[in-house]
Amino acid sequence: MDVDREQEQALTADQRKAERAAAVAFTVAILAGIGLFVVYFSGGQTQLEGVLFCLILGGLGVGVALWANRLLGAHEAVEERHELTSGAAGREAFEHALAEEVGPTLARRSVLVKLLAGAGGALGLALLLPVLSLGPAPGRTLKETPWRRGSRLVDETGRQVTLASVPEDGFITVFPEGHAGSADAQALLIHVPAGSLQLPPDRLAAVPHGTHVAYSKICTHAGCPVGLYRATTRSLLCPCHQSQFDVLDGAKPFFGPAARPLPQLPLGLDDQGALIALGDFYEPVGPAFWDREKP
């Protein structure tokens, strides 16, 4: 009892202040807890919940920190480091324990050990087999899209797209009929002023009236949809890494990390004058991969 009283009297003014502050902090925490119950049972509100949780936790934290800093008494302690190593003797004993009862079959050149290794290797390879079931072989799927000769153009809702759907200097996203929303078939139909395209003659022939040109919407850099068409400069900007493609020059990249132009989709008009594709894109769409150039 006497010791306790002595210890109490030993509390300095600083410590008494800290005690009071810690008491206030803990009280704040309790009140915030009550507040949290009220907020939760009256429907909840994210901002209030966050603030009140902060007050509970922070109140507790301030109290405990004050306790740790001021009320525990600063006792610096010293501990000796021990040697980490077991020493050569220790390691020898370990090796001895390993080798002790194993017997002559573990001699390095033993046939049994080699066969064990072989069987282990076979098991290892066999265990890889279920991994191969995780996905199909790529095959030609990266090089083909659902576009075919004669595919009609539709927008993402499946509505047919006509020459009049796109005003001059306008653009829309198009898909082959029956595949609206297809990830690899997505293309941009852009209406450029007549005579402005600078394409080689065979590519220009695949642009109805020389005004309605279509390119793949999948960026050849890292695959984002290139959705930003700039009407006055007639160029496309990809929002992911800022590659920019010149629509009038075969969608060649003129700035940014993309290395290849957006593949063109050849378009034509069928007997009824409706917009159709004349075949798949001229090149595999999207980012490059190892065997992209291989047939």
Partner 1 sequence: MRRTAILLGGIALLALLLTPAAGTATQQPPGNSPALFARGRELYQQACASCHGPDPAGQSAYATVPSLKDVGGAAAVDWTLRTGRMPWKDTVGPVIERGRPRFGDEDIRALTVYIGRAVGDAQLPNVQPSQDLVPEGRELYGQACSACHGMNGAGAALGGANIAPSLQNVSPQDVAEAIKIGPGEMPVGGGLPDYDFNSGESTREVNAIAAYVESLKTRPYNRGGAPIGGKGPVPEGFVAWVIGLGALILAARWIGGRS
Partner 2 sequence: MTTMIERTLKYVDERLGTASFARRALRKVFPDHWSFLLGEIALFCLVVLVFTGTFLTFFYNPSVREVVYDGPYQPLQGQEVSAAYDSVLRLSFEVRAGLLMRQVHHWAALVFVAAIVIHLCRVFFTGAFRRPREVNWLIGIVLLFLALGEGFTGYSLPDDLLSGIGLRIFYSVTLAIPVVGTWVTYLLFGGEFPAGDIISRLFVFHVMLLPALLIGLVVLHIAVLVLQKHTQFPGRGRTERNVVGKRLWPEQTFKSVALLLFTTAVLALLGGLAQINPIWQYGQFRPFDVTSPAQPDWYIGFLDGALRLGPPWDLTLFGYTISEVFWPAILFPGIAFGILMLWPWIERRLTKDYAEHHLLDRPRDAPARTATGMAGLMVFFIMFLEGGNDIFGVLLNVSVEAITRTLQWGLLIAPVVTWLVTFWFCRSLKRSRVHPARISAGLRLRRTAAGGYETDPLEPTSSNPE
| Tokens at 185, concatenated | 């078939």
Binding mask 4-43 for partner 2 (x = CB under 8 A): ------------------------------------x--x
| Tokens at 268, concatenated | 């034509």
Among 32, 52, 56, 171, binds partner 1 (CB under 8 A): 171
Per CB under 8 A, contacts with partner 1 among 224-243 are 225, 227-233, 235, 237, 239, 242
CA angle 79, 81, 83 (to 5 degrees): 155
Per CB under 8 A, contacts with partner 1 among 175-234 are 225, 227-233
Q: CA 40 to CA 54: how far, in whole Å?
A: 15
Query: Is residue 47 near partner 1 by the rule CB under 8 A?
Result: yes
Per CB under 8 A, contacts with partner 1 among 57-76 are 61, 65, 68-69
Give which of partner 1, partner 2, none residue 44 binds (C-beta under 5 to 8 Å, depending on kind). partner 2
> Interacting stretch for partner 2, rule CB under 8 A, among 56-64, 89-97, 101-109, 269-277?
56-64
Residues in Cβ contact with 55 at an 8 Å cutoff, skipping those fewer than 6 apart: 28, 29, 31, 32, 35
Q: CA 19 to CA 117: how far, in whole Å?
A: 68
Residue 262 and residue 215 in contact, taking contact as beta carbons nearer than 8 Å: yes
Report the nearest approach of partner 2 to the CB of residue 288 (Å). Answer: 4
Number of chain positions touching partner 2 (CB under 8 A) = 77
Strand order through the sheet with 244-246: 228-230, 235-237, 244-246, 252-255
Query: Is residue 44 near partner 1 by the rule CB under 8 A?
Result: no
Per CB under 8 A, contacts with partner 2 among 225-244 are 225-228, 239-243
* Placement of tokens 């150039």 in the chain: 293
Report the nearest approach of partner 2 to the CB of residue 256 (Å). Answer: 7
Among 11, 34, 44, 118, binds partner 2 (CB under 8 A): 44
Q: CA 186 to CA 164: how far, in whole Å?
A: 20
Residues in Cβ contact with 185 at an 8 Å cutoff, skipping those fewer than 6 apart: 145, 146, 147, 175, 176, 179
Length of the chain: 295
Give which of partner 1, partner 2, none residue 123 binds (C-beta under 5 to 8 Å, depending on kind). none
Among 166, 192, 206, 258, binds partner 2 (CB under 8 A): 258
**Residue (180 or 269) nearer to partner 1, CB:** 180
Q: Which amino acid is at 64?
A: V
Query: Is residue 172 near partner 1 by the rule CB under 8 A?
Result: yes
